[in-house]
A = this chain, B = another copy of it.
Amino acid sequence: MNSIHPSAIIASDVILGHDITIAEGVVIDHHAIIHDHVSIAANTYIGCQCILGEYLADYYPDYDNKAHPLSIGPHALIRSGTIIYGDTTIGSHFQTGHRTTIREKTVIGDHVRLGTMADIQGHCSIGRYVSIHSGVFVAPNSIIEDYVWLFPHVVLTNDPTPPSDSEKGVTIRRFASVAARSMILPGLTIGEHALIGAGSVVTHDVPPGKAAVGSPARIKGDVETIINPDSGEPAYPWPRHFSRGMPWKDEGYDMWLTRNEL
């Protein structure tokens, strides 16, 4: 049985499975496919050609869709062509670009944004207010904490001796920023407020508050020494200068930090 709120707007060509819950104000656009055991909270938009509740591997041997629930929070904006597997939980105010992929056993917090063709390979934890840009690859067992930025085409790996059965995911700590097309080798930790420069290959842990760049990446110093070319002032820690969409946007980062005792 499906539970669909009468205020939901679902295009007539949408495919619906069973055990689906659709809350008030949800919109599901053309040619989307909602498989079984999917729950969509209020005021969420599902774009054209999205596939939600995508099958896990245990579907294919007998074409029996086991109970792998997908839960999507309220106020999400899931753009066209996105695929999200079952056994996944996503918080409120989630946004994707186009053709994003999120595999099973992923837990995503509130206010997360994933870019076009970002590829989350499952068994991952993604915190709150995380921004992951276009074409990013996140290997299984990655841990991405709150307020992290992964810029376009970043790759997080997990196998130190490929191929093997080892899966040593990467950990990206709070407020860290990994610039475009950088790669983090398996099992490493990028520290809180650290910055990885564009095009880097990171082969060692990066301590909190340090900037590293290069292939292999070398630590260049404290992030506070990096100047924003527009303002002439320190660019980091970035929350002092960037608040769009962030919880400190009204009071400023320092005040917010004091109040929240992070």
Q: In the complex, how many residues of chain A place their beta carbon closer than 8 angstroms to a beta carbon of chain B? A: 70
Residue in B closest to A177 when the chains form the complex, CB atoms: B162
Q: Which A residues, 112 to 165, have Cβ-Cβ distances below 8 Å to chain B?
A: 116-117, 119, 121, 131, 134-135, 137, 139, 149, 151-153, 155, 157, 159-165
Q: Known contacts A163-B149, A164-B228, A183-B199: does B48 contact A51 (CB below 8 Å)?
A: yes
- A107 adjacent to chain B (CB < 8 Å): no
Interface segment among A66-74, A233-241, A254-262: the answer is A233-241
A152 touches B151 (CB 8 A): no
What are 28 pairs between A and B in contact, CB < 8 Å?
A15-B30, A31-B31, A48-B51, A54-B80, A101-B117, A117-B117, A117-B119, A121-B134, A134-B137, A135-B135, A151-B157, A153-B155, A155-B181, A160-B228, A160-B229, A161-B228, A161-B229, A161-B236, A161-B238, A162-B180, A162-B238, A163-B177, A164-B230, A164-B241, A164-B242, A166-B230, A181-B201, A187-B229
Nearest 6 A/B pairs, CB to CB: A161-B235, A199-B201, A157-B180, A215-B215, A161-B228, A163-B242
